[in-house]
Structure 1
Amino acid sequence: MARSNAYLAPLSLIFLAGSLVMLFFVILSAVTTTSPLRQTYFLSAQTGGITGARPVTQWAYFYICGEGNTDCSGAWPAPPLGWAWSANPANAPETLVGTHGGDTTSFYYYYMWRFGWVFYLIALVFSVLAFFAGFVACCGRLGSAIAGLGALVALFFHTIAVSMMTAVFVKMRNAFIASGRDASLGRWAFGFSWGSWAALLIATILFCLGIRGGNSEGYTGRRWGRQRSVRSRRSYDMNGRRVKEEYA
């Protein structure tokens, strides 16, 4: 086993485990009213006066809820953001309403969030695979390569997911504010999302260092071992005979 993997692989697993925990907090937001799931939502906005909407609406991963992640809708995969109100609502920000999601959501917000929602799940799947492969990384460079590849794929989809999520809900907040309504981003959901991304990035780098570090160490040992085994030879004539003298 490469000596560098003795500490790089376990350290990578710690960061990857932290990334997974934070990602689960985001995905399971509003499942229960216990902390931190109760405080985890992407956006909170005053929606009173909008047809069919709650006084305050909070958008979580599977749910659309009221204040404090209570009075939630049923769990639904990639719920259209406009399901917070009725079809063709009055008094809703115009940029948010369109013909998608049962005449509740505009084209941009419907598809941006739908794809962002899916990329979160893909990132979760590959992060889990990389985590289990990380135990093999403790045994050598091949395990580090497998875990590093899984983590790299997870990082790719995670980057897309958090970027799309950020773009969607920041623009959505701005739309509510422009229409004269109070709105704020969910600090917990954004913190968990970007914290998970950062931990996954560090884990990926450490897995890759486990590959390079092990290879470099093995190469250096062979190189210096060869240099120590090489002997220089000097020859000279003595009484008409060629004599060789060896020295290290």
Structure 2
Amino acid sequence: MALSHASLSLISMIFLAGSIVMLFFVILSGITSTSPLSKTYFLRADTSGITGARAISQWTYFRICGDGNENCSQSWADPPVGYAWSSNPQKAPAELVGDHGGDTTSSYYFYMWRFGWVFYLLGLFFEVLTFASGFLALCSRLGSAVSGLVSLIALVFLTVGVSLMTATFVKMRNAFVAVNRDASVGTYAFGFSWGAWAALLISTILFCIGRHSNKTDAPSSGRRWGRRSRSTRSRRSYDGRRVKEEYP
């Protein structure tokens, strides 16, 4: 049985809410040490011996922290990845160090992380707008169309943001491993990020389906579904009287 646009919109909003919650788990990582935020980071690496760095560094959305997301730096908007160490550091992977971020970060990682950070936040912003417009989708198919459009914009931004984040920190991990340092990408951060992306994709599809959903049409006048009415015509009998003849 086909669902009405209101039912589809409600299911869409449930997926959308789940996506928003997962994004907030990533954004708030490093702000508090409660679980699962204490286990949420993009990259964990051995930075012992690097000038000005902690023994273990964990990169989160606003901060660079130590083990367990404790002993964190102050919060920064799109912090350069090289803020984990001092300017012109010794023993840091050469691929990561450059003249950006106060001589801490190479051009590639500076801009990859910066654009990923911004697109990620734009995705969240448009998701919140979609959730607000979702209440209109419960009332009309036009509302579903508006929500589907805004949700699609959010999906584009989040796709770019999460893709850039993944590329940035996977390459960073490889750079640490190449100089014989332990490093691993964060299971929770990327699990939440791609989970939020998948939930947003489903929500967008359902909003678009809701835009084209229709109520069951009423039966046509004078007919019932699957049956034809019988027609009649008159004719004259052999004795001159008019009689009716039925035919299918």
Tell me the alpha carbon deviations over residues 177-214 of structure 1, each in whole angstroms, 9 at most, x when there is no partner.
00100001111101000000000001111111111123
- On the 8 A contact 1:62/1:75 being kept in 2, the answer is yes
Tell me the alpha carbon deviations over residues 10-50 of structure 1, each in whole angstroms, 9 at most, x when there is no partner.
11111000000000001111111111111110000000111
Residue equivalent to 2:96 = 96
- TM-score (norm: length of structure 1): 0.89
Q: Mapping of 1:32-181 within 5 angstroms? A: 32-181=32-181
Cα separation, 2, equivalents of 1:163 and 1:226: 56
Cα separation, 2, equivalents of 1:125 and 1:153: 10
- Note the residue ranges of structure 2 that are not aligned, 5 or more in a row: 238-242
- On the 8 A contact 1:9/1:134 being kept in 2, the answer is yes
Q: Which AA in structure 2 matches 1:176?
A: F
How far off its partner does 1:232 sit?
9.0
Cα separation, 2, equivalents of 1:177 and 1:238: 102
Q: Relative to 1, partners in 2 of residues 1:238 and 1:133: Cα closer, same or farther, differing over 3 Å?
A: same
How far off its partner does 1:228 sit?
3.5
Q: Relative to 1, partners in 2 of residues 1:5 and 1:181: Cα closer, same or farther, differing over 3 Å?
A: same
Cα separation, 1, equivalents of 2:6 and 2:103: 57
Query: What's the secondary structure of 1:184's corresponding residue?
Result: strand
Q: Relative to 1, partners in 2 of residues 1:103 and 1:136: Cα closer, same or farther, differing over 3 Å?
A: same
Residue equivalent to 2:182 = 182
- On the 8 A contact 1:233/1:244 being kept in 2, the answer is no
Residue equivalent to 2:15 = 15
Q: Relative to 1, partners in 2 of residues 1:107 and 1:226: Cα closer, same or farther, differing over 3 Å?
A: farther
Residue equivalent to 2:220 = 225
Cα separation, 2, equivalents of 1:27 and 1:247: 75
Structure 1 moving runs of 4+ over 4 Å = 229-239, 243-248
Residue equivalent to 2:240 = none
Cα separation, 1, equivalents of 2:165 and 2:10: 31
Q: Relative to 1, partners in 2 of residues 1:231 and 1:108: Cα closer, same or farther, differing over 3 Å?
A: same
Cα separation, 2, equivalents of 1:235 and 1:227: 17
Cα separation, 2, equivalents of 1:247 and 1:34: 80
Aligned length: 241
Structure in which a larger fraction of residues adopt helix? 1
- TM-score (norm: length of structure 2): 0.89
Q: Relative to 1, partners in 2 of residues 1:246 and 1:206: Cα closer, same or farther, differing over 3 Å?
A: farther
Structure ID, larger Rg: 2
Between the two proteins, what is the percent identity of the paired residues?
62
Tell me the alpha carbon deviations over residues 195-242 of structure 1, each in whole angstroms, 9 at most, x when there is no partner.
00000001111111111123xx46xx27x5368499897878759xxx
- Note the residue ranges of structure 1 that are not aligned, 5 or more in a row: none
Q: Relative to 1, partners in 2 of residues 1:247 and 1:180: Cα closer, same or farther, differing over 3 Å?
A: same
The Cα RMSD (Å) is 2.4
Cα separation, 2, equivalents of 1:43 and 1:235: 85
